[in-house]
Amino acid sequence: MEFQLSSDQLAIRDAVTKFLSEEWDLSERRRALDDGPVKISDTLWQQILDMGWIGIAVSEGKGGSGLELLTSAMLVEEAAQVLFPSRLCSALASAYALDQCESAGMSALLASHMTGKTFVALAVDEANADYGPENNSTTATLSGEEGLLTGQKILVPDTDVAEHFLVAARLGDKGALIRVATDAPGLTITPMERIDAQCVSELELKDVAFSTEDILGGADGAQAALHRAYEFWTTLISADLLGVTTTALKVTNAYAKERHQFNRPIGSFQAVSHRLADVKMDEEVGRSLLYGACLALQERPDESSPQVSAAKAWLSDAATRATEAALQLHGGIGYTWELDVHLLLRQARSHAVYLGDADYHRKRIGAYLAEQLKSSAAEAQR
């Protein structure tokens, strides 16, 4: 089947590329490695908000653009190609999560998030090395309309600008996303370090109070809201990895044409050209898997886990291979501070293990296939 992007998607992609190439200063990423974390100027972020990027996947009835989820992934992919900070990815995921809730309070918070009055960040990963919301050890206990939240989260993004967190927790026998203000009593925020100098922190929650109004989707829709938010955020991280892969291939291919050895460009040697061909294959397969994940999440969000995990598993490995190839094929100069290659490798390695590494997502696919085989066998016996 031939798949083509729409004219609107192509126009958005071109506009994003042009804007970021003109407005984003990559030297900020270098500064952050010494003085961290990486920052986006208030002026630049406000321009992004004014262009409506954060609400691109939010339904029109809540003030968003109501565009396909693939468009959001393309936006993140283009941003990653110029190593724009992942706040964009985080903000898109939070907006999508809030859009899953019909309550007036969450709708107001979503509107505030999209206009920049408030920033909302998701908190999912935990320190127990068990990825995924199904392995949450953070617990929420309800007594009537009020409850308490206890647990720990790590690698929570954008804590330097966030005013609310959406914390993934176990609520009874289900998962849920629960809103917590950054100044809530019992919440401790401790800065962490990532090798790509992006802002992340650890959250320690000790009997943090919340009400039923703070549960995304309410008691009945909490599990679905958490599932969809996690799948969408994972898809966006995959898009980021694809963008890094594309840039790594682009800069290395250009270098292989310019760098001469034995009176010929190094790209003419089979050892170099074959490795670049492998990276190109990784990129193309990864793009197909990413687009498939976006379409699955759009059309059947509650059954999209296998496609999302396939994209994340493949691109986690692909981005790491691509950036390592870039570093090695540049030779000694690839290890110098002046080139961007190490910045690409840092971001690829950071996101390769974010929201589940490749092994976790492959196991997730395996569990799904095993369940399907079990269901088919049971059906055949009837």
Q: How far is CA 141 from CA 23, 176, 225, 235, in A?
A: 46, 11, 18, 30
Shortest CA distance to 278 belongs to which of 321, 236, 246, 227? 321
| DSSP per-residue letters across 160-216 | TT-SEEEEEEEETTEEEEEEEETT-TTEEEEEE--TT---EEEEEEEEEEEEGGGBT
Query: At 75, which helix (H) or strand (E)?
Result: helix 69-81
Shortest CA distance to 246 belongs to which of 295, 289, 287? 287
Residue 2 has pLDDT above 80, yes or no: no
Burial class, 259, CB count within 10 angstroms (exposed 0-12 / middle 13-18 / buried 19+)? middle
Buried b (16+ CB within 10 A) or exposed e, 263-290: eeebbeeeebeebbeebeebbeebbebb
Range of weakest confidence among 7-11, 163-167, 254-258:
7-11
Shortest CA distance to 72 belongs to which of 133, 118, 9, 27? 9
CATH code of the domain in which 179 resides: 2.40.110.10
Residues 276 and 166 in one domain: no
3-state secondary structure of 261: strand
Give the structural domain span for 96. Answer: 7-118
Residues 101 and 179 in one domain: no
pLDDT 10s digits, 189-244: 999 999 999 999 999 999 999 999 999 988 788 999 999 999 999 999 999 999 99
Single out the residue in 68, 103, 118 at which a domain terminates: 118
Q: What percent of the chain has pLDDT over 70?
A: 99
Query: For residue 110, is it within any domain?
Result: yes
Residues 297 and 200 in one domain: no
Buried b (16+ CB within 10 A) or exposed e, 197-232: bbbbbbbebeebebeeebbbbeeebbbbbbbbbbbb
Query: For residue 332, is it within any domain?
Result: yes
Res. 328 pLDDT band, cuts 50 70 90: very high
pLDDT 10s digits, 331-371: 988 888 888 899 999 999 999 999 999 999 999 999 999 98
CATH code of the domain in which 249 resides: 1.20.140.10
By the 8 A CB rule, do 182 and 163 touch? yes
Tokens of 369: 């296939």
Query: For residue 2, is it within any domain?
Result: no
Query: For residue 327, is it within any domain?
Result: yes
Q: Please give the pLDDT value at position 257.
A: 94
Q: Tokens 């809103």 belong to which residue?
A: 179
Query: For residue 140, is it within any domain?
Result: yes
Task: For the chain, give the mean pLDDT.
Answer: 93
**Structural domains of the chain, count:** 3
Query: For residue 1, is it within any domain?
Result: no
Sign of CA dihedral 76, 312, 132, 351: negative
Q: Please give the pLDDT value at position 128.
A: 74
The whole-model pTM stands at: 0.95
- Compute φ and ψ for 157, nearest 5 degrees: -80, 155
